[in-house]
Every structure is written in C-alpha cells, then in structure tokens.
C-alpha cells in the first residue's frame, strides 16, 4: 500500500540512512530485544525495518515497509524464536524504497544461511556488482548491501573472521554492519569509522547497535565503540574483537553530533546533548546579536538554543509547538494541505513571539526552503526581528557516505553566499557555526571527523563518475518524499 510522508519540516533535513542492531543472549528472546532496540533507533530510518533470528539451526526473518511498531507485533515475534538476532531500520539512499531492498539481506551460503544489516554507503558498488555478475552472480535487490552480503557468502567457507577480512578488503565506503550466521553474530565498522557502531552487554548476553540510545530501554550497558576497521565476533565462547581491516584514521560523521544521532546517545565518550549545548554556546560567541528571546526549532534545535541562551543571558522561550504525531499516512494529502507546508507540523506561539526580537536556533540548512517557511511563521506571529543561528556549518557538498542530503545543485550553500542565503530565507541576520567550533564542541574525547559536506574534503576518495552524478542537475525540488508506490509526494 502506498504511503505519503506528511512531515514537511523534515523534508529540508539530511536523512540518515539506517540503524543496525544485534543481540546474542542465552534465551529465546533475541528478536524481542531487537524489536525494542530498533524501536529506539527509529529516527535513523522510517521506510522499512526487519529482524533476522537464529535458533542455532535455522535462520528466520521478517521485514516489511513502514515503522518498526507497524511491522512487528506479538504474533510476528512468536515466529522468530532464537538466541541470536540482527535488525535493521532503513531510509534508502541507494536502491529504491521497495520491500525487496528492505533489510536484513538474506543469503544462502555453503555453510548455512546468513543475514546482513548495513548502515552506510559503498562507493564501489557498481564495479563490484558488474564484476560479480560477469562471474555469474545474480542479485535480488538494487542496493549496495546485497553486494556486501554476497561477498561475505563467497568467503564463508574460510570461516566468518576471514570472510569479514576479505570482504572488507574489497568494499570501499562507509559501513557499520551486523551479520547473523546460524551460530554467531558479527559486527564490523569501515576503516574510517564514518558511521557509528557500539558494543555492550545485556544481562548475560551481548549487543551491538548504531547508537547507545538503543541500550538503556532494554537494560543494556554500552561498553565501547568499535574502532575504525574493527570487528567483533560473538558466539558461545563470548565476544572476540579483531581488526577486519587496517584503520585509515577515524573520520566519524560530524553530522551525527550535530543532528542525526539522538541527543541521549553518546559518541566518542561524549553526551550528544551536551555537545549540542556547547555548539549553541560557541555559536553565540561567533555570532552574537542583540535580541529579546532565543527560540529553538523543535526538537533538534533545543539543546543548542539552551546553550545560546545560557551563553548570552537572553531568555529561552518556546516559540512554536510541534505536532508529534504527524509523520506518515495512507491518506493522500490534497494540494490545499500541501500548501500549508511546515504549518502542518509547527504552530507559532504568538503570545511568546509578538513584538520580540527572536534568535531562531536550528541545526542545519540544506535547501533553505523549510528555514524560509519557519522565518515567515515567526514574522506572521508578530516577531519584530528574526536572527537565524545554525549549528551545522554551511552544507555545500553532497554526502557519499550514507546520508541523503540532496545533490550539489540543490544545496543552497553551494550556490549562494551567506548574505544571499540570509536574504533568501528572509532573516534579519544569519550565522553558522564554524567547522572548527563544531569539532571543538564535540569535546576532548573526540577523535577524527568527516567534514566533507562542509569542506569538500572527502576522507574516503570518491570515484569521479559518482561525484559527477551528484553534481548533475538535481531532481525536482518538490519531489523530496518518495512513497512506496514510487509516486512522489509534493510539498514545496
């Protein structure tokens, strides 16, 4: 059944591709734990989700389009008994948004079935796929994750550790991966550590997840992040760590700190909530302004707005209310509703805004369309001035590592100067946090970062043919929400 994304405020945000989760426990409840783990990782992808589970003999799987809570219920979980499980929640960046591209990917190998769940994006998919097809391989999906899964299958007769090493030697790009075999759970992270992956304990079992926020709802405790290029194999003998590929140096996605990951997660031993609050403080240092109130764009702008307010002494006010339940619907929105834009999601609080000089704090500007609408909301509610402050530095380059943030031509900061963007969005002033201060806010425990979408410096070299595609004419800016039927939903 087709669904329509009716969350216009999210259209101008970068989209995280996926969340992954894995559990190895001493009872039959691995799938149930994975359900709750995926539930906590829902923000990393809302198009499809799936769980694969092994009871030591048989690997079973269930996946579908939609939210985790729509796909799984007690009846479905009853069909997934076993002590080892992996799960995946997906927003597609490669491969269409259809069920056959949902994950985990399930493959038959000479040593039994395996299932693979992948967060990230491979940049040599095409050449690997062409080579493998020439060698007689058949693919069921159009995504890059099946290429990885089939490489693992090829090498499985050498043992799972060697299969991981050989697969990592062939694939290039950003990846955090969970693999389920009949007897083991394996997780590994790319040599630059672009996408997050954390390992931890749960009672007398073990788990891995994209973010630490998946641990606490199920009583787990994060132990440590996997290092760049590192893998962990968990079986009846417990967890064993090994280097799947030599590290190229840590280059964690800086956007995980700014926006993608949940604020209650920790990365590089740092609370993301506190990191975002520090971003707000540093933003106030870099771009001070005389104003009456600091207003966050909810929810992602809240910690930075608090930081800005505390650093300046300007009072923090909630200036708009966010509808929490607008997301997806099976009812097609008509043109009149589409024209409401962000008003479907955000309602200004006139009592707080009227006559005030407002500092509006948000996490990012991608195309500029949503920010423009929010500035207008403030003015329509009577704001005397609107000063926009953004914790992400200007996004001027596309991402090739698993984040869907539009082609270069669509990125407003690739076409316009900051003064021009300020005029386009209708603000009185506009200030972005610098890359240096965004990194500084991540805290002293932070290792290296990918900053490519801000600086154009790609830590994993991107082939020219892929770069060229991302620089070519963008799709219709209005066609930002792809529905399961393949029809676009137009809002802007």
Return residues touching ligand SF4 (CB under 6 A). 194, 253-255, 399, 401, 403, 450-453
Task: Round to whole Å and give the CA distance between 167 and 151.
Answer: 6
* Element (DSSP H or E) covering residue 282: helix 272-286
**Helix or strand or coil: residue 165?**
helix
Structure tokens belonging to residue 420:
């021009």
Provide, rounded to whole angstroms, the least separation between the CB of residue 194 and ligand SF4: 5
Least CB distance to ligand SF4 at residue 400 (A): 7
The active-site residue, picked from 18, 213, 422, 450, is 18
Cα separation of 354 and 49, whole Å? Answer: 43
Cβ 364 to ligand SF4 shortest distance, Å: 10
Residue (306 or 462) nearer to ligand SF4, CB: 462
The C-alpha atoms of residue 153 and residue 135 are separated, in whole angstroms, by 14
By beta-carbon proximity to ligand SF4, the closer residue of 293 and 395 is 395
Separation between Cα atoms, residue 344 and residue 141, nearest integer Å: 35
Among 245, 237, 150, 129, smallest CA distance to 188 is for: 245
* 153 or 433: CB nearest ligand SF4: 433
Quick one: DSSP state of residue 238? E
What b-and-e string marks burial along 105-123, b requiring 16 or more CB atoms within 10 Å of the CB? Answer: bbbebebebbbbbbbbbbb
Q: Which two tokens stand for residue 67?
A: 């939210």
Q: Given the complex with ligand SF4, which of 174 and 377 has the nearer CB atom?
A: 174
**Nearest one of 211, 219, 312 to 268, comparing CA atoms:** 211
Least gap, CB of 255 to ligand SF4 (angstroms): 4
Instruction: Tell me what percent of the chain is helix, strand and coil, each rounded to the nearest 5.
Output: 35, 25, 40
The count of other CB atoms within 10 Å of the CB of residue 158 is 12
Residue 18 annotated as catalytic: yes
- Closest contact distance (angstroms) between CB of 251 and ligand SF4 is 8
| CB-nearer residue toward ligand SF4: 228 or 253 | 253
User: Please, which residue, 113 or 144, has the CB nearer to ligand SF4?
Assistant: 144
**Kind of pairing, strands 385-390 and 357-362?**
parallel
The burial of 243, by beta-carbon neighbours within 10 Å (0-12 exposed, 13-18 middle, 19 or more buried), is given as middle
Cβ-in-10-Å burial (0-12, 13-18, 19+) of 183 comes to middle
Least distance from ligand SF4 to the Cβ atom of residue 228, Å: 13
Shortest distance, position 145 Cβ to ligand SF4, whole Å: 17
**In terms of CB distance, is 254 or 374 closer to ligand SF4?**
254
Report d(CA 85, CA 31) in Å as an integer: 6
Residues 490 and 334: their CA atoms lie apart, in Å, by 10
**Closest residue by Cα to residue 251 from 44, 453, 433:** 453
Determine contact, residues 367/286, Cβ cutoff 8 Å.
no
CA-closest candidate to residue 489, choices 1, 5, 2, 95: 5
Closest distance of CB 431 from ligand SF4, Å? 20
Nearer CB in complex with ligand SF4: 213/453: 453
**What minimum distance in Å lies between the beta carbon of 41 and ligand SF4?**
17
CB of 112 to ligand SF4, least distance (A): 34
Nearer to ligand SF4, 332 or 434 (CB): 434
Spatial contact of 178 and 20, defined as CB atoms under 8 Å apart: yes
C-beta of residue 295 within 8 angstroms of C-beta of residue 320: yes
Q: Which is nearer to ligand SF4, 201 or 470 (CB)?
A: 470
Query: Which residues, 6+ apart, have CB-to-CB distance to 339 below 8 Å?
Result: none
Q: Which residues are catalytic?
A: 18
């Amino acid at each position: 059944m087709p669904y329509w994304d009716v969350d216009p405020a999210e259209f101008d945000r970068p989209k995280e591709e996926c969340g992954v989760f894995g559990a190895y426990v001493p009872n039959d409840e691995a799938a149930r734990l994975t359900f709750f783990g995926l539930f906590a990782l829902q923000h990393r992808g809302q198009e499809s989700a799936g769980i694969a589970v092994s009871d030591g003999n048989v690997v079973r799987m269930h996946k579908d389009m939609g939210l985790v809570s729509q796909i799984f219920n007690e009846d479905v979980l009853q069909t997934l008994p076993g002590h080892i499980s992996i799960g995946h929640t997906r927003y597609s960046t490669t491969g269409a948004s259809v069920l056959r591209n949902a994950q985990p990917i399930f493959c038959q190998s000479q040593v039994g079935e395996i299932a693979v769940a992948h967060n990230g994006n491979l940049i040599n998919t095409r050449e690997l796929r062409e080579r493998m097809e020439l060698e007689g391989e058949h693919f069921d999906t159009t995504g890059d994750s099946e290429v990885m899964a089939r490489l693992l299958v090829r090498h499985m007769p050498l043992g799972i550790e060697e299969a991981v090493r050989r697969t990592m030697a062939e694939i290039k790009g950003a990846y955090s991966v969970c693999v389920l075999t009949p007897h083991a759970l394996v997780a590994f992270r790319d040599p630059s550590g672009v996408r997050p992956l954390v390992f931890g304990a749960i009672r007398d079992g073990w788990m891995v997840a994209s973010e630490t926020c998946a641990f606490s709802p199920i009583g787990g405790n994060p132990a440590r992040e996997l290092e760049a290029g590192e893998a962990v194999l968990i079986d009846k003998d417990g967890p064993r760590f090994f280097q799947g590929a030599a590290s190229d140096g840590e280059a964690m996605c800086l956007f995980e700190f700014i926006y993608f990951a949940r604020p209650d997660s920790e990365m590089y031993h740092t609370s993301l909530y506190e990191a975002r609050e520090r971003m707000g403080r540093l933003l106030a240092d870099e771009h001070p302004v005389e104003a009456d109130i600091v207003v966050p764009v909810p929810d992602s702008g809240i910690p930075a707005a608090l930081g800005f307010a505390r650093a300046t002494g300007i009072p923090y006010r909630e200036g708009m209310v966010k509808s929490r339940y607008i997301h997806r619907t099976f009812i097609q929105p008509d043109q009149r509703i589409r024209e409401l834009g962000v008003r479907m999601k955000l309602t200004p609080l006139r009592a707080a805004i009227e006559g005030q000089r407002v500092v509006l704090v948000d996490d990012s500007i991608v195309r500029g369309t949503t920010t423009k609408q929010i500035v207008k909301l403030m003015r329509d509610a009577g704001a005397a001035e609107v000063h926009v402050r953004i914790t992400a530095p200007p996004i001027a380059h596309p991402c090739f590592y698993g984040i869907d943030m539009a082609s270069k031509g669509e990125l407003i900061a690739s076409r316009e100067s900051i003064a021009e963007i300020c005029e386009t969005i209708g603000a009185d002033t506009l200030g972005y946090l610098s890359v240096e201060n965004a990194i500084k806010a991540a805290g002293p425990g932070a290792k290296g970062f990918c900053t490519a979408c801000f600086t154009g410096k790609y830590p994993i070299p991107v082939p020219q043919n892929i770069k060229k595609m991302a620089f070519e004419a963008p799709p219709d800016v209005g066609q930002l929400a792809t529905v399961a039927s393949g029809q676009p939903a137009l809002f802007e």
